[in-house]
Structure 1
Amino acid sequence: MLVQPKQEDLTLRLPVLLSAFLICVATLAASDPISAPEGKVVLTVTGNIERTNDGDALRFDYAMLKALDATIVETSTIWTDGVRKFQGVNLATLVDVVGAKSGAFLVTAINNYTVEIPLSDAVDDGPILAYAIDGKSISVRDKGPLWIIYPYDRDPEYRTEVIYSRSIWQLDRIEVVE
């Protein structure tokens, strides 16, 4: 004998089923492999990460970074004139993409300058890994190809020597450490 569920049973179960489905989709998306870069590598992430595309590293070209959710931060800096529009990847997004769980980013520039950025700085409305200023890619001459930009104008807490030291430019490597 086939018993038909009551409408109220379905109504009560639908939110639970929908939540379970969304969790499954999110889990699959987070574990999807990331393709190897096709263009010039501009960022290499190593260390305590869950996702890689080249041995123990996760390498990105510009197209791969630009394919991630873009964030725009409009702010002045102590290194530029006036308010500028910086576009890039929010550090919170980068943490999710690489699969970092805790610790810190050791970020290194082309000239081997290295600074530590705690993963606790990686919040939704926090710093970004900028790849463009005012809609144009950042050249090495202008502090590119990548530059950590905090929303300096939003909060006096972002205008400190500690935060300025974390605002590394000509960034090309990140190691996630405990």
Structure 2
Amino acid sequence: MSSLTLRFITILILGFSSVFSYGAELMKPVGPVLLTVTGHLQFTNNPDGKAEFDLTMLNAIGLKKSVTTTPWTDGVNTFEGVLIKDVLKTVGSTGGTLLKITALNDYSANMPIEDLDKYNVLLAMKKNGKMLRIRDKGPLFVIYPFDEFSELQNEVIHNRSVWQVKSISIQ
């Protein structure tokens, strides 16, 4: 067996159970880090007290879909990714009332944590079955279910819909 095959089998066997480590650490990313979580968290995988996630680790959290229109895309689209509240559960969020979500270009927006339960906010990795690339607002894009709640159609919520997300700070 090739080392790539062995790595895949190991990730498959361990990934779904050990992303959520039984100690104070998460498994370490094998692939490129897509998301870094800091702030009020219990479970880390970095000596600096951060939680870093690669694609495999994000997938292991559990993928959800949101079918919606957005102000930045044409028509109705199917976005797929992880619920941000599930990311917070994975890192053992220990409090905080606000998330500071930061993009690759250092744009940031503050999101009240209460939005996560109220609206099931998605951290999308795919649009219409295709991985989001940087030029497509990826690799991670905050998606609110705009079509389900008319109150989401406003500038405040639009500003919270960060694309090219690189980090979330639990404050």
The answer to whether TM tops 0.5 is yes
1:102 is displaced (CA, Å) by: 2.7
2:42 paired residue among 44, 47, 50: 50
2:81 paired residue among 56, 69, 88: 88
1:122 is displaced (CA, Å) by: 1.1
Corresponding residue of 2:144? 150
1:88 is displaced (CA, Å) by: 0.7
CA contact (8 A) 1:44 1:59 kept: yes
SS at 1:38's partner residue?
coil
Corresponding residue of 2:3? none
2-structure distance, mates of 1:94, 1:83:
26
Task: Say if 2:53 is the partner of 1:60.
Answer: yes
2-structure distance, mates of 1:141, 1:158:
25
Corresponding residue of 2:153? 159
1:18-167 correspondence to structure 2 within 5 Å: 31-32=22-23, 33-55=25-47, 56-100=49-93, 101-123=95-117, 125-167=119-161
2-structure distance, mates of 1:157, 1:64:
33
CA contact (8 A) 2:119 2:144 kept: no
2-structure distance, mates of 1:67, 1:30:
12
Which AA in structure 1 matches 2:59?
K
SS at 1:66's partner residue?
helix
1:130 is displaced (CA, Å) by: 0.5
Moved more, 84-93 or 123-132: 123-132
- For normalisation by structure 1, the TM-score amounts to 0.80
List structure 1 segments (4+ residues) > 6 angstroms apart after TM superposition: none
2-structure distance, mates of 1:124, 1:63:
27
1-structure distance, mates of 2:128, 2:55:
16
1:73-95 Cα shifts (integer Å, max 9, x gaps): 00001100110000011122112
Q: What do you get for the CA RMSD once the two structures are aligned?
A: 1.5
CA contact (8 A) 2:21 2:27 kept: no
